[in-house]
């Protein structure tokens, strides 16, 4: 890797720069600073085009010009969420929260055994996981895809190690087989596992679904785990309502019932999950942080 790579969009420089900004920029100036730097990152062509193509599917009939401005809104929300995330890790500053589907959230908290929290790349899933582990006092394992850049990966792992509390453990989805075994054992021990179910990491098992009329793939791991460990899946979404205000939406649990036809059981559960996901993303497209086309049909 050359020294130039650290300045690519996924390079480690921007993570270090964000941390530096969080520690040094006066908080009463952050809105203007974030607005300015969001404009700068809109120059990132592949990301901007990816968002615009996704928007053309989420909002059929939308114009390219309008989607360009919508892309700015997506980038703006993303900038705020990653800033809030770093600020929480470095300064233990949290936003205000509001809960929707409180009965489902309480059901999740009081659920005696293990459970899977299925979420999407929306709002601030990192902060939501921290909040949940703080409020509930339960151990959560958060599965995430590792960073593509090795220096960024190392930086993020060091940051997690230094700043994450005991109630939250992060595990990376590239460990495929070993991870599945570990998660299964964890669920059987009564742990909660948080997984993002709207994007597939290369090398992991996936299944085809239809999202906004386009073919796409989602991870099949959560459904397989739910069936094997006989634990419910709780769809959970986190939305940014504004500066330091988030909404946590807990949906009714899904159960992947073990039948003779494994594929049919998966397909049914995935259809329910996709229905939830479509409704949520259609209403809050400005919070879906998917910077590549979600379907090959959009490429």
Partner 1 sequence: MEFIRGRCEARWLPSRYNFAIFRLAALVRLSVAMRRPEPVDPRRLFFVDRHQSVFENYAVSLWLTATAGCFLASWLAPSLGLAPAFAVGLPLAAILLEIPVNLSGLLLAPVWSAVFRTPSRDRHRVNGFVLLLVVFIAAVDFAGKPGWAAFAGWQVLALFALNGAAAVAMFAMRGHVAALEKSFGGVPSAS
Task: State the nearest-atom distance from the C-beta of 243 to partner 1, in Å.
Answer: 5
Residue 90 vs 171, nearer CB to partner 1: 90
Q: Quick one: which of 7, 63, 66, 91 contacts partner 1 (CB under 8 A)?
A: 91
- Across the chain, which distance is largest between two alpha carbons, in Å? 60
Residue 7 vs 20, nearer CB to partner 1: 20
Footprint (CB under 8 A) of partner 1, residues 175-194: none
Whole-angstrom CA distances from 90 to 56, 123, 125, 145, 161 are 37, 19, 17, 22, 12
Q: Quick one: which of 1, 32, 176, 271 contacts partner 1 (CB under 8 A)?
A: 32
Q: Quick one: which of 2, 4, 28, 299 contacts partner 1 (CB under 8 A)?
A: 28
Task: State the nearest-atom distance from the C-beta of 245 to partner 1, in Å.
Answer: 7
CB contact at 8 A, 15 and 155: yes
Residue 230 vs 247, nearer CB to partner 1: 247
Footprint (CB under 8 A) of partner 1, residues 204-243: 242-243
Helix (H, G, I), strand (E, B) or coil at 178: helix
Q: Is 23 in the site for partner 1 (CB under 8 A)?
A: yes
How many residues of this chain bind partner 1 (CB under 8 A)?
36
Q: Quick one: which of 1, 7, 9, 27 contacts partner 1 (CB under 8 A)?
A: 27
CB contact at 8 A, 235 and 254: yes
Structure tokens at 275: 């229905």
215: which DSSP letter?
E
- Give which of 203, 234, 202, 205 is closest to 221, Cα–Cα: 205
Residue 100 vs 181, nearer CB to partner 1: 100
Residue 78 vs 80, nearer CB to partner 1: 80
- Give which of 234, 144, 250 is closest to 187, Cα–Cα: 234
CB contact at 8 A, 115 and 109: no
Task: State the nearest-atom distance from the C-beta of 99 to partner 1, in Å.
Answer: 4
Between the two ends of the chain, the Cα-to-Cα distance in Å is 28
Q: Quick one: which of 1, 7, 9, 35 contacts partner 1 (CB under 8 A)?
A: 35
Q: Quick one: which of 25, 145, 184, 207 contacts partner 1 (CB under 8 A)?
A: 25
Residues 92-111, mask of contacts with partner 1 (x by CB under 8 A): xxxxxxxxx-x---------
Task: State the nearest-atom distance from the C-beta of 165 to partner 1, in Å.
Answer: 6
Residues 27, 33, 38, CA angle at the centre, nearest 5°? 135
Q: What is the CA radius of gyration of the chain?
A: 19
State the Cα–Cα distance between residues 147 and 184, nearest whole angstrom: 24
Between 64-91 and 12-24, two packed helices, what is the crossing angle to 10 degrees?
Answer: 70
Q: Is 137 in the site for partner 1 (CB under 8 A)?
A: yes
Q: Which residues of the shown chain bind partner 1 in the complex (CB under 8 A)?
A: 20, 23-33, 35-36, 90-100, 102, 133-135, 137, 165, 167, 242-245
């Amino acid at each position: 890797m050359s020294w130039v790579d650290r300045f690519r969009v996924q390079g480690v420089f921007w993570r270090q720069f964000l941390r530096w900004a969080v520690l040094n920029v006066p908080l009463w100036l952050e809105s203007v600073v974030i607005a300015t730097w969001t404009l700068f990152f809109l120059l990132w062509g592949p990301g901007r085009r990816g968002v615009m193509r996704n928007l053309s599917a989420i909002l059929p009939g939308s114009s390219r010009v309008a989607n360009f401005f919508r892309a700015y809104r997506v980038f703006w929300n993303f900038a705020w969420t990653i800033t809030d995330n770093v600020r929480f890790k470095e300064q233990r500053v949290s936003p205000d929260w509001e809960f929707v589907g409180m009965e489902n959230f309480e059901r999740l908290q009081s659920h005696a055994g293990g459970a899977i929290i299925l979420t999407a790349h929306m709002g601030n899933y990192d902060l939501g996981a921290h909040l949940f582990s703080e409020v509930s006092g339960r151990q959560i394992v958060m599965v995430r895809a590792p960073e593509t850049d090795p220096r960024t990966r190392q930086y993020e792992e060091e940051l997690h190690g230094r700043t994450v509390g005991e109630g939250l453990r992060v595990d990376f989805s590239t460990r495929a087989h070993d991870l599945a075994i570990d998660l299964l054992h964890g669920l059987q021990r009564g742990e909660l596992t948080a997984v993002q179910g709207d994007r597939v990491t290369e090398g992991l098992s996936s299944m085809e679904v239809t999202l906004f009329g386009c073919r796409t793939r989602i991870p099949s791991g959560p459904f397989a785990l739910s069936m094997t460990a006989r634990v419910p899946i709780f769809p959970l979404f986190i939305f940014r309502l504004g500066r330091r205000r988030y909404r946590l939406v807990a949906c009714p649990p899904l159960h992947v019932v073990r039948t003779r036809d494994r594929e049919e059981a998966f397909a049914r559960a995935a259809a329910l999950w996709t229905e939830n996901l479509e409704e949520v993303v259609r209403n809050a497209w400005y919070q879906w942080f998917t910077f590549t086309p979600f379907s090959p049909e959009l490429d």
